[in-house]
Structures are given as structure tokens and as C-alpha cells.
A and B are shown apart, each in its own frame.
Chain A
């Protein structure tokens, strides 16, 4: 066996270019298969960990998935806000323990701005019921204070006391800066690995103050209210994007949801975060399945190529195999020599594939974190991926029996003199 292994290695090294390319194909196909799986599971985990402890997300009636994506993950948009009156009604509802109203729409250099109340810092939970922590400074206190997520502060190099200006909407296009009302960084949150990290938090009143002299998404011509005068106006918001609701007793969630959905004054909906996420996954499941199918096909192509290369090499190696026969190699040694090659290649290919996935995760994780607040958690394969890896190796091994068997037959027919 040692002799065979040494021979297989030397022989493979002799054909390193062809085998190397084959190996690359198998590795890349493994990368694709594992990568799709990794992205799928990690994104789910990351989404699920982004919000916890919130029993209901309430907003204007529409798509529950959209409301979740926008209010929790800052993705997409919702077309309608809910009224402040409804938010007040929720806050005073006997079944409700706490509410956190949130208002989105502005941005700072690409990072979303969230208007909320101080209760946000008390009640918002992520991961395994973990509360938010301030790494530095304090919550917003003065009207134009801002609390930064960890990623915002790190990426833009901001420190406490820094003056920043916000932009209306996504901040693209001219004339959308709220340049007249600068904010002061009062606090910086500890990193959470969620969309909170890339959020600029301000008070709802400040959000209202920013837009006193705005209407319909643009400054009102000829009207400019300087920051020192905004206190003269009522800064109670007229509407918010959504309200996060915590209940005294979680069992009441469905009856409250029914009450919210049936409220006559305003068309509202209450969304259970878990249910909305499940709905989201159902939506993307079709795309996921296609991605999985395509990556499975790519693996099949990779392994077919591998077998083809080993088989093609067999013809050139008939004389080599005949020589080995003359010095005592048995037909089954010849079989092992060829099968070993295919099995090793699929094994190494699968291993390379998972190393590539790990490298890709390390390379992509900061980008995903910075742009979407999504954490790719694991560098090492998860349980499902181990099965996929085992599958690649198993299929590769079984497929490698073909060249092995072919070599076995040839060596029986050829003996010591190949009939070429």
C-alpha cells in the first residue's frame, strides 16, 4: 500500500498541470456549493439575531415582510407611516409593557438615521436577549445629539463631540443636506453585529425639528428655521415608521394583534417578527433552491471532469501499468492506483473548497457587516456543510471506481504487453 501511494503521488506529480486544473475545478465547485449553503444559513441566523424581545412590530397596513425589512434591517422602504395617535394608543394599551417608536428616512453618508425615544436603549434586544451598551458617551440628551452605531463611528472615524450633518432620504442628489442643523455625537454604541451598528440614532423630536421647514421631501422655498428657534414649535411627531411593542404577557400577543389589525381609526398591522421572517424565508426559498440546484450541477460537472481526466490519462499510462504488472503489481493494485487518484482528488478538492469558503468569509464578512449589518459568523463548516463535503467526497470516490475498474480490465487484457 505504501508503495502504491508513493507511486500514485509521483505519477500525479508528473501530470500536475492537468490534475491541478481538475483539482481547481472540483475546489471551485465545492466552494460554490458550500458558499451557497453558508450564506443561506448565516444570513438566516444573522437576521434572526438582529431582533429579539420585541413581541410585535406595528406599522401602517401593507406587507409584513417589507415592514420588518425596513424597520429592523433598514432595507427597502415602506410607502406609509402610522400616525402618532396610534402610537400613543399602543403605548397606553393595558396589555403593553413598553413601546419604542421608530422613524426612518434620513441618512448620514449612506448610513441610515433612526429617530426614536430613549426607551429604545432600554428595551431593544438583539441576539440572545442582549441589551445595547454604550461604548462611550451617553444617550441623546440635548435636542441635536446623535448616538452612533459602532460601525458608523469606526468607518467614519468619529469621536464624541464630533459635529455631523444629516441628509434627507438616502442623501443622493444636491440640496438634500440638513446642513443648517448639525448634530453632536453624544454616544457611541458597542458593537452588536446587527444593523444597529450602522445606524445613527437621534430623538424623534430632532427628527421632527429637521423637517419643520420641509414639505414633500424638499425644503419649503423662502422658509428657514434656525436650530435655536425650533423649540418654539411643537416637536411632537405626526407620524412614525413603526412601533416596537413589548408585552407584559406574551400569551396576549395574538389578541393584541387582532385588535391592532381591526382598529377602525387607522389601517394598521401588527407583525410577529418570527412569523414575518419565516414569510421572508419562504419567499427566498425558491431562489435558494435554484442556487442549490445550480451549485449541485456545478459539482457534478466538476466531478465528471475529474473522472474524464483520470480516464483520459489512463490510455497514456497503459505502458506504465504494464511495466508495473511485470514487476509484480496485481490487477487490483492497478485498480487501487487509479481509484486512489480520483478519491484523493475529490478529497483534496473538497478540502480546498472549504478553505476557500473560510477565506471568502473572512474577506467578505467586514463588507457585509458594513453595508448590511449582517454577520457571517462561522469560519468553519456547519453540520449541513460537513454533509455536503462528505457527499462530494463520496460521489467523487464512487465515480473514481470507474477509471479504477477500466484500468483493472485493461491490465487483465494487456498483461505485460499493452496492445496499443
Chain B
């Protein structure tokens, strides 16, 4: 299955100094272009799973393969590079760097990744042009672009974060409770928009939330409780 976006096998992770395993996942495979809803209560290990997928953490045992690359074989620096080259992230809130403009925030991944920059330039003539295209795509009106990002509504901020996650067409988009600060109506709208954009860009979407009601917007739903094997520490 070379076209798997994520393949996890016998993965075990415990935080240093803790007796119990935080994550113990026998197997999880996510195909490319799939949109997967991962549901779990707080403390169920969702954020740890995302940190492992982002290569910020490495498991004590087992394998975590992203886009055909075994992350634990990469050095810390290579994982940092791999992360920005292939993954876009959207977090709960305060996703934006307050002293940068909307466009600069969107273009951040292109500053750290040559690959993202090249792929962005393959779509638009200039980086700024690509940022504007994405912002338009995400219904961020041109009148908002010059405004300090701290003055945007939470929904607007999250859409800027989505544009940042999507720029340079990473294969994987990981969203960690991006809608928890939005009201119910906007939650669904944001998730729909995100899923549509990911599909359009051919990206795999992993959407993590504690709110199972949103699951229907994704093609598949996985629960943390089902994933966790809860064995003994390695």
C-alpha cells in the first residue's frame, strides 16, 4: 500500500517519567486523499498522536510511517523539515503570529520550506498571488487583508490558518480541534470548507475533535478509544 498517507503499526508512546502508556496503537492506516475524523475526549492522547504525526515526538516502540517515510528513522532536523514540507497544521485557536500581516502568516510555511514555496509558485505566478488566491478561496474578503490579524474574528483567524495549512499543497493537513472556539453553525461550515479545499488540493485531512457530531463531514471516523490497545509499557 504505497499510497497510504499514514500507516501506524504497534506504536507505543509514554511521556517521560510516566508509568502508563499514553498511546498504544496496534494499527491505523489512512489512505491518501481520505478525510478522517478522529474523535476522542481530552486526555485520550489525541494531541500526542498529532505530535507524533508531526514528528515533534518519536515513539518508544513501533512504526509511524507518513507518506512512505518512517519518521523515527529521520533525525530531529529532518523531521522538522519533513513536517513543513508535507504537512499543514491548524490548531485550536490563536493560530496566527500577531505581528505579521494576514498574507505573511499564510506564507510562513514557504519561508521555511523550499518545497512548499515551489509548489505554491507552480500554482500562482507569485507567492503573494497564491496567498491571495487561497484567502479568496476561503472567503476572506480583500478588505480584511490589511487588518492586523489580532482584529479578526476567531472564524476569520481559523480560515487564515487553513490557508496557511494549505499553501504549497502539502499532502497532509492536520487540524487539531480547529472549531472548538466557533459556534455550532460555523463549526460545520468551517469543516465543510476545509474538507472541500483539501479534496480540491488532493490532500489527506486528519481532523481531530472531541465533538462526535461533526464526524459526518468526513469520509471516515475513528475513535481514540477504539485505537488504544492499552497494554503495558514497553
CB distance from B199 to the nearest CB of A (A): 22
Interface residue? B59 (CB, 8 A): no
| Contact of A319 with B112 at beta-carbon distance under 8 Å, contacts A11-B99, A416-B51 already known | no
Chain B residues close to A by CB (< 8 Å): 47, 50-51, 54, 56-57, 76-77, 80-81, 83-85, 89, 91, 94-100, 108-109, 111-113, 164, 176
Asked if residues A319 and B84 are in contact (CB atoms below 8 Å), the reply is: no
CB distance from B15 to the nearest CB of A (A): 10
Asked if residues A329 and B56 are in contact (CB atoms below 8 Å), the reply is: no
Contacts of B112 in A (CB 8 A): 3, 327-329
- Since A327-B89, A327-B112, A328-B113 are in contact, a sample of 13 more A-B pairs with Cβ atoms closer than 8 Å, ordered by chain A residue number, is A3-B111, A3-B112, A10-B100, A323-B97, A324-B97, A328-B80, A328-B83, A330-B77, A415-B51, A415-B56, A415-B57, A417-B47, A417-B176
**Which among B47, B98, B109, B176 is the interface contact of A327 at CB below 8 angstroms?**
B109
Asked if residues A329 and B80 are in contact (CB atoms below 8 Å), the reply is: yes
Asked if residues B77 and A328 are in contact (CB atoms below 8 Å), the reply is: no
Question: In the docked arrangement, what's the CA distance between A415 and B52, Å?
Answer: 10
Interface residue? A80 (CB, 8 A): no
Chain A residues close to B by CB (< 8 Å): 3, 10-11, 13-14, 319-320, 323-331, 415-417
**20 A-B residue contacts at CB 8 Å?**
A3-B111, A3-B112, A10-B100, A11-B99, A14-B98, A14-B99, A326-B89, A327-B84, A327-B89, A327-B111, A327-B164, A328-B85, A329-B112, A415-B51, A415-B54, A415-B56, A416-B51, A416-B56, A416-B89, A417-B176
CB distance from A43 to the nearest CB of B (A): 47
Contacts of B51 in A (CB 8 A): 415-417
Contacts of A325 in B (CB 8 A): 56, 80
Contacts of B94 in A (CB 8 A): 319
Contacts of A320 in B (CB 8 A): 97-98
Question: In the docked arrangement, what's the CA distance between A153 and B47, Å?
Answer: 83
Contacts of B96 in A (CB 8 A): 323
Contacts of A326 in B (CB 8 A): 54, 83, 89, 91
CB distance from B77 to the nearest CB of A (A): 6
Closest-by-CB residue of B relative to A323 is B97
Contacts of A14 in B (CB 8 A): 98-99
Closest-by-CB residue of B relative to A322 is B91
Question: In the docked arrangement, what's the CA distance between A328 and B95, Å?
Answer: 15
Closest-by-CB residue of A relative to B108 is A327
Question: In the docked arrangement, what's the CA distance between A417 and B83, Å?
Answer: 15
CB distance from B176 to the nearest CB of A (A): 7
Q: Which 4 A-B pairs have the closest CB atoms?
A: A328-B84, A328-B112, A14-B99, A415-B56
Asked if residues B113 and A416 are in contact (CB atoms below 8 Å), the reply is: no
Question: In the docked arrangement, what's the CA distance between A64 and B89, Å?
Answer: 80
Contacts of A330 in B (CB 8 A): 76-77, 80
Asked if residues B89 and A13 are in contact (CB atoms below 8 Å), the reply is: no
CB distance from B140 to the nearest CB of A (A): 18
Question: In the docked arrangement, what's the CA distance between A45 and B84, Å?
Answer: 61
Most buried by A among B57, B112, B176: B112
